[in-house]
Structure 1
Amino acid sequence: MSYIIKTSRLTKAYEGKEIVSDFDMNVKKGEIYGFLGPNGAGKTSVMKMLMNLVKPTSGEIELFDEPLTNTSYEVFRRIGSMIEYPVFYEKLSAKENLDLHCEYMGYYNKNSIGEALEMVGLKNINEKPVKSFSLGMKQRLGIARAIITKPELLILDEPVNGLDPVGIKEIRNLFQMLSKEYGITLLISSHLLSEIEQIANTIGVISNGRLIEEVSMNYIKEQKTDYVQLVSKDHKKACFVLENILNISNFKVIAEDTIRIYESEVSQTVISKKLIENNVGIESISKHNTSLEEYFLNLIQQGKAG
């Protein structure tokens, strides 16, 4: 199997405190890799090390099957990135900023500027200076700068930050197109788990600087379980009815007023009827299935417990 990114025991410490520890990441060629973790977990630090912006304390990084060293320069012609808040020459226009970037990268296809701006929805901005752009427009321009050279690998840190729901959907479609039509590999960090769930092939979950899970989205989808969620202030009475009248044992109290019922043979209608017959007050009852968000939160809790 061909990997675009491989790290081995990657570690970064500041003043003796490790913020990334023994980190082993494997990003396959052509996939969209969703990089998830709470704020401060170490996602941005890992991305900065991949881009040689921060030097590891120890461990190894391989990009395109070559070790990353202090003298690795040419490899970055094959990579587009946006890490943290994108910075521009504020008095210049979007086109002028992209033109300078192409000069810096040694990329001289001038048609690519218009193509990139159109891809991110910024084609009608004329010569407006970037200082007049909204946060969402600057995010779009940052993505345009990352993709303009048609890189083989994109490293994007919270790329849809500041975008409205329509913009998020447009950028999601763009990422899927870049992956499918151009074969670009994408490493994307995001706190919007529902977005990652829709586009990622693999997720990596980092907590307290350690990679606690690296798993395919197909595997997560196979683990999805249907359940009925019951919210009731009479949760003790509800548990009695479930166990002794409905003979349901496969349920879990997840909060003081919330119960999840995993017994698929008993319908929601039957559960509601028996609860009402036994004077159990129902705030709400609804059918769900487990999502990436729940999978992620369970992993984070397990990571903290470990």
Structure 2
Amino acid sequence: MADEETREEKGETTSGDASVEAPKKSGAKKGGKLTKASAREVSKRDPLAAYMKDVQRYPLLTREEEHDLAVKFVETGDVEAARKLVLSNLRLVVKIAYDYRQAYKNLLDLVQEGNIGLMKAVQKYDPFKGVKLSSYAAWWIRAYILRYILNNYRMVKLGTTQAQRKLFFNLQKEKSRLSAMGIEPTPEKIADRLSVPVKDVISMDRRLSAGDASLDAPVGNSEGRTVSRVELLEGGGPRFDDVLADQELGDRLKEKIHEYGATLEGKEKKILSDRLLAEDPKTLQQLGDEFGVSRERVRQIEKRLLQRMKKYIEGELGQAVLDVYEAP
């Protein structure tokens, strides 16, 4: 355990037997130095090796130097001190990202996200609590890497709740663990061991076992034609022919109302145009003041007008039309 901590402080970024240090390339001069041409070739063939070569230019800090820089950043906000703390721990990010190479193939993407977590850790780090920056930063680095994997594992996000996130990272492990114990990994047993709902286990298992399906992928229909999957999905709104039928019915109803309005005179014509059909209808009191009568008298005229207009429309279009527009 002591040897592992010593290796970590010296910047040896290994995981198991696999090393994440830049592999030595052919074309190197004596002493392990690469020519400019060979360095460019390394960058083209292995971007991670080129990144590691660049990272190793930044020296590691002693505990005392790290503490002094952290205190300086906390007390004065010195950006240069924070920069040195970040650069000296870039190897740690690669080491942690390498542990997740099976979950996400592009290791440099994980390193990039882990670097953001490292910068966040430097911002939040308290040097007076006696904890090493690398120990504290590891939690932030892992959190950012795991969030990135979760958000980019599929085109459609998988882990949108806490239970789903737990299942995303532990479902397959728990199934393997139960199988090794000779226990059938049923959704009920997995849900009980992980303390999540059974329906979430079933849903996540289906989503992880099936790949993303494109809505534009061609599929066959009942007529033998090749159409995209999206064309076969049922729309959420009303049917197009129903929309056209309602629009035509509304136009005919509007036409009959205006025909009836042309037969009116006096107060009734004014009530229809200024109250019943107006975008900004007048009140009963306003019309009463205009006619020189009470608001109750205007209401009685309006009621009689509506009854006669409904009877006219029923005779022209039928009762079914009125039933459609009077339905709640």
Q: Which has the higher helix share?
A: 2
Give yes or no for TM over 0.5: no
TM-score between the two structures when normalised by the length of structure 1:
0.23
Q: Bigger radius of gyration, 1 or 2?
A: 2
Q: Which has the bigger relative contact order, CA under 8 A and spacing at least 6?
A: 1
TM-score by length of 2: 0.22
